[in-house]
Structures are given as structure tokens and as C-alpha cells.
A and B are shown apart, each in its own frame.
Chain A
Amino acid sequence: MKHTHLTRIFVVAKNTFKESVRDKVFYALFAFAFVAITFTIFLGSISLDEDLHIVRSLGLAGIYLFGVLITVFLGTSLMYKEIERRTLYFILSKPISHGQVIAGKFLGLFSSVALSIAGMTIIYLGVVWYSGGGFDTLGLLAIFFEIIEVGLLIALSIFFSTFSKPLPSIVYALLVIYIGHSLGMLVDFTKRGSALAHDVVQGLYYVLPNLEKFDIRDLVLYGNAPSLTAVFLVILYATIYTIILLAGGALLLQKREF
């Protein structure tokens, strides 16, 4: 079989997937997530008539939190490790472009994080069912949105890891996640303050990813679902943002001296 440009991306993706699912960090966080999600049964039982609400709320938040942690810890070191340990020499001296390497890395890590989220989802669905909530279809929709956000965060982590060491990259990624979830609130808050502060926050609002778009946990907890248009727009927003970040990462990698 002849290998095309696309197959080469999948070859890198497969290798990245293997590497990340064999990483101890991956298992440690997954085990911790298992314990945390199961623990929501106990937390639900000590709440007053809110068992299911607590189980669903903490369960969905737990899946998000551990998905983000796996993403940030593995993603921020992904390219840096390749550059620092010079394994990238093996890859880039072969007929593959910088863009294909970045795309493969993204797909590989995305698959492994999506796999871990799928695992956590099975535990979550079991816990909700055990708590009397039946099959949580709306919860699945919230998790789907979390997976889309995680995809964007993987691209962000890879982007940082092309030029920065893992520790600063973790700090940058966590800062963007924090700000990305507070942008709407910050814009509202600065409306009442100085014009300069408002302009700065407004600028950040357009440049940084608005991660609140992916958070529909509160919506589904009260039995509501986003419209199909909203789902489509969120997917489009995440796709465009992810492509821009990956293209930026590929460009930075190409400019880099080895």
C-alpha cells in the first residue's frame, strides 16, 4: 500500500496515541477520575433530596476536570519532548511536513483523551443509573461539548509546546482556560469600569477562545438542550480555532532551529 499525505498523519497519530495511553500520567489521572466520579454517589447520598442533581453535576464537572488535566499535562509536553529528546529528528528527516507532524500529534492525543473521556462517561452513566436517573442522554450531550472543548485545548497545548517548556506551557494553558471561561463575565464587569479596561477585555474576548460556549452543563442539568444551530456553531467555532492554533504551531515548528 502506498502512503499518502493523509496516511502519514495517521501514522504519527497512531504513534502518539500509543505513547500517551502508555504514559503513567494517563493512568494515574484516569484512576483518580474513576474514584472521584464513583465518590459522587456518596456526596449525592448526604445531600437533602438532591441526590441525582449532585451526582450529575459533580459527575459532569469531574469528567471535564480530568479531561482538561490529562490534556494539559500530556499536551504541553508533547512537542517539547519531541524537540528536547530529538526524536523529532527521526520524523522530520523523513518525507513528512511540519504541518503533518502537528496534525498527527493532535489527532493522536485527541484520540487518547477522547478514549479516557469515553471511559469516564461509562462510569458516569453507571453512577447516574445506580442513583435512579436512568440513561442520561442530555448528560451525553454535555460530555460531547466537553470533548469539543478538550480538542481545542489540545491544539492550544500543542501550540504552546512548540516554543515553551512544559511548566510555563501548563501555566499559559491554565491561564487561557481560566480567562476563557470568565470572558463573558469580565466583559460585563468592565462595562461599569474604565473605558481602557473594557477595551482590553473586549480585545481579549475576540482573541482568546470563549470557552463558556462549550459549557452546557447547567443547561442540561435542568433538562434543557441547546438548539441544533447552536451545536453546529460551537463545532464550527472550535474547528476554526483549532485549525488556526495547529497552523500556528506548524509555522513555529518550521521556523525553529534544531
Chain B
Amino acid sequence: MQTNTFVTLSSRIAMIDLVASASTDRGWIWLHTHSQTNYTIRMIEIQNLSKNIGKRRIVNDLSLSIKKGTVFGFLGPNGAGKTTTIKMLVGLNRPTSGSIQIDGKAPTDSITRETIGFMPEAPYFYDHLTGLEFLRFCGQLFHTPKTEDDYTSLLHMVGLSEAKDRRVTTYSKGMKQRLGFAQALVNDPEYVFLDEPLDGLDPIGRRELKKIIVGLKKEGRTIFFNSHILFDTEELCDEIGILHRGSLLYAGPVTTFTKGHSLEEAFVTTIENLDSTI
């Protein structure tokens, strides 16, 4: 999968509606087989993960298994510990106790970080770089950097081809969000971690990014994202995890949690009931 270029990636994503007929595409067959073969081997494994910041426990004894090729939505109210968890998953912070393994290796291991992409929440950028320069900079930090065509295709895929030579300071919030998303895909990652990826996007932007996420899933990539936008989460996710005050309340299929209600309804009821008992 690492050898696939963004040209094929973007063209496949542009044809999401034609995915069934895309089985004739040699690349798709290969990816499909590839992801099937590794389905049970490759995964994200979190065991008894805890994180203290100062004297405060932010994440408490979290254990989760996320299968390869799934979209996992990590939900929770503000301050639940979602961002702290995702920062540990991408190797930015170290756990106080417990462990994280991605394909059997710790995210602090640089080999693991070759295979992951991360988009931080409300990303900031270097003021004096253009979108293309920033993407090139991110790409060059990996063992096998992409070509100029790959960077351009990736920017095209997230709808920034017109603005690629403009300085990032001139970008709107939504454009910055798209650029943040593009840099998370710059290494053709197996695992994509997104912190509030749909925040700040207009409905069209949200639809486009969701389309890309669906495309990535179809290619066998694993997507882990934090979100407050429950409607989109319900639409995208195979499984969800609900975190409250640092502890995991639920992890599993969306339908098992919602029991016929909407995700928003089920989520709000669960959190409110829990808060009222404390």
C-alpha cells in the first residue's frame, strides 16, 4: 500500500460511488486482498492506559482494540481525555502507565510513525509557507518522500489545488483544516488519527472530507477520530468508544450503543444519566 501514489488514491476516492465496479481496477483488487490478508494481524491495541498531567488523572485505565480497516469514532464531552489519548496514540506524549501498540510496536518508535498520519485539532501552520511548501516539508520527514505530482494530487484531493501556492496565512479556517487533513495523508498511512477533523468546515467541506474518509476505509486503512459532531460520526464509524472523565464507558458497534435511537440521543442520555448520579 505504501507504494501507491496519491494519483491513484485521489482518483479512487473521486470514484467512491463506483467502488463496486472498481473491482476491475487492478490496484483495488490488490488493496482489497491486502487488507483482507492482514485484517486480523494489524491493529491498534491499547492496554490499561493511564495519563496524569500534574496531579490530575486525565485518562484512566483505558483498554481498547481497534481492528485494521475500521473507522473508529472516539467520543466524549469536552475534557473527557480524547485529545490526550490521541496524542499518546501518535507518540506525542508518553503514557503514565499502560501501553499502546500499533502493529505490535509502540508509537514512540519512529518505525511506527512511518505508518501513521495525524491531524491535530484546529491546526496552526507556519505563517510564511505556502500550502504546497508545507505539504512538501511534511512529506520530506518520512523515509520515502513523495514526488511533486503526489503533493499536487493530494492538495487537489482536499480541494486546495487553486490555493497551493498561496501562503497559509491567507487561508480560511476550512482551508487550514483541509491542509491539516492533507498532511495527515502525505505518507500514504496505514493508520490515520484525526482530532476533530470536521470542525470548522462548511457542509460542503464536511461532505468532501467524509467522502475521503470513506475512501480511505475502502482502501483498508484504519481511521481513528475524535469528534463532537455525532451525526457525522454515526454515518462514518464502524465502532465507537465513549470516554467520560478519562474512563471508557462503551466500546463497540454504533448500533449496539444506540439501540434504535440516534447516536446523539443515546450519547446525551448516557452522559446526562451518568452526571446526575455523581
Contact = CB atoms under 8 A, between A and B. Distances in A.
Interface of A: 1-3, 7-8, 11-12, 14-15, 18-19, 22-23, 85-87, 89-97, 257-258
Interface residues of B, number: 32
Contacts of B138: 90, 94
A78 to B, nearest CB: 12
A182 B113 CA distance: 47
Contact of A3 (B53, B142, B193): B142
A23 to B, nearest CB: 7
B189 to A, nearest CB: 10
A85 B87 CA distance: 15
A19 B87 contact: no
B142 A93 contact: no
Contacts of A86: 120, 123-124
B137 interface: yes
Contact of B110 (A14, A15, A96, A257): A96
Nearest to A258: B92
B200 interface: no
B140 A11 contact: yes
B92 A18 contact: no
Nearest to A86: B124
Interface string B104-148: 000000110110101010011111110001000110111111000
A257 B138 CA distance: 22
B270 interface: no
B93 interface: yes
B273 to A, nearest CB: 33
A87 B125 contact: yes
A48 to B, nearest CB: 48
Most chain B beta carbons < 10 A, residue from A11, A91, A93: A93
Contacts of A23: 128
A1 B140 CA distance: 10
Given A15-B129, A19-B126, A91 B120 contact: no
B91 interface: yes
Contacts of B91: 92-93
A91 B124 contact: no
Contacts of A95: 110-111, 113-114, 141-143
A15 B113 CA distance: 20
The list of the 8 closest CB pairs from A to B, nearest first, reads A22-B128, A95-B110, A93-B118, A94-B141, A85-B124, A89-B120, A95-B113, A93-B90
A150 B137 CA distance: 27
Contacts of B114: 95
A96 B53 contact: no
B178 to A, nearest CB: 14
A93 B116 CA distance: 8
A14 B126 CA distance: 13
11 contacts: A1-B145, A11-B140, A14-B137, A19-B126, A19-B127, A22-B128, A87-B124, A92-B92, A93-B113, A95-B141, A258-B92
